[in-house]
Amino acid sequence: MGNKIIVIYAVLLCLPCTLLGDSTASEEELLGYANSLVAQRDYYRGISMLKQIAYFSEDPKMKALCIFKIGEAYQKSRKYKSSVEYLDRYSTNATADTLLYRAQMYLGASYLQLGHYRKAVASFSLAESLKNDGSGLIWVVYSDVLQDKLAAASDRLQSIISARKGDAIARGSQEILREIDAYRGSRQSARTASILSALCPGLGQFYARHYYDGAQAFILVNSFAYMTYASYRLGALGEQSHIATVLSAAVAGMFYYANILGAGRTAAYRNQRKLDSSLKRIRFLIHNKLGFAPGLGFSFSL
């Protein structure tokens, strides 16, 4: 049984080479086979076959199509740098067609994953100019939110809502706008949290709604502050050395500084968690309410 499995696996591995060596197999048939490999998430063999077709083909259109398909497969397999390389190569020589629109959407998605937000916005904007269906603008909005440019995102959504006048895109944009407004309303200032904890240890953590951390900071800082005072009084009465006072003051100061620093970081951490949650809901709205991304293979986990 084991030997049969090995033989079958060897045959499957050799199949692409067999097809390429078969003069009766047309480029369209080979392309169809490569597409089926990619559809089955066998990206390595699918991309390898696409590269071979592009290399041997004498048809410029087939070469261009294979280059696009390679970039698409790399994007779906989350190899974003390679995806950018091939999609940019395709876009350079492509005309304004459906594939160019998809190439720019894929490019924008890959740039987002690489953290190249300006390039992502440029690609999504070009895609919008090609199709003018709101899809590119919606992903520009997502890029703005990802960069914490909430005012810009809200302005873009308002313009979409005004331009689309109550259609499905406008209604979806309204939901995204409400999500952004809810996030903006729930944000807390890291500076305010630090100032509050400087005034009263633990108060900044309570402001950031980390109550356990706030109680812990309040107890630790005040306990060592009281120990410092008690040690000083004992030292003043000559009952113990002032070294204990210095040590307890140093520990109290350390906890006081950590309390201020921690308050700001706690607020920033809470904001980041809120942002991640909002981004997840926005992606859900884009995918499921607006339908902008299925079929594009964006590798965003929902």
201-245 pLDDT tens trace: 999 999 998 899 999 989 988 888 888 888 877 776 666 667 778
Is residue 30 domain-resident? no
Is residue 184 domain-resident? no
Q: Is the pLDDT confidence value at 261 over 90?
A: yes
| Amino acid 285: pLDDT | 85
Read off the tokens for 75: 């994007």
- Domain membership of residue 265 as a residue range: 190-283
Instruction: Please tell me the pTM assigned to this model.
Output: 0.73
Read off the tokens for 155: 């302005």
Is residue 261 domain-resident? yes
Is residue 135 domain-resident? no
**CA-to-CA distance for 124 and 109, rounded, in angstroms?**
8
Is residue 247 domain-resident? yes
| Amino acid 240: pLDDT | 63
Is residue 255 domain-resident? yes
* Other residues' Cβ atoms within 10 Å of the Cβ of residue 181: 13
| pLDDT band of 96, cuts 50, 70, 90 | low
Q: Is the pLDDT confidence value at 41 over 60?
A: yes
Q: Is the pLDDT confidence value at 197 over 60?
A: yes
Q: Is the pLDDT confidence value at 275 over 70?
A: yes
Total number of domains constituting the chain: 1
Is residue 258 domain-resident? yes
- Contact (Cβ atoms closer than 8 angstroms) between residue 139 and residue 286: yes
- Contact (Cβ atoms closer than 8 angstroms) between residue 190 and residue 267: yes
* Share above pLDDT 90 across residues of the chain, in percent, rounded to a whole number: 40
Is residue 72 domain-resident? no
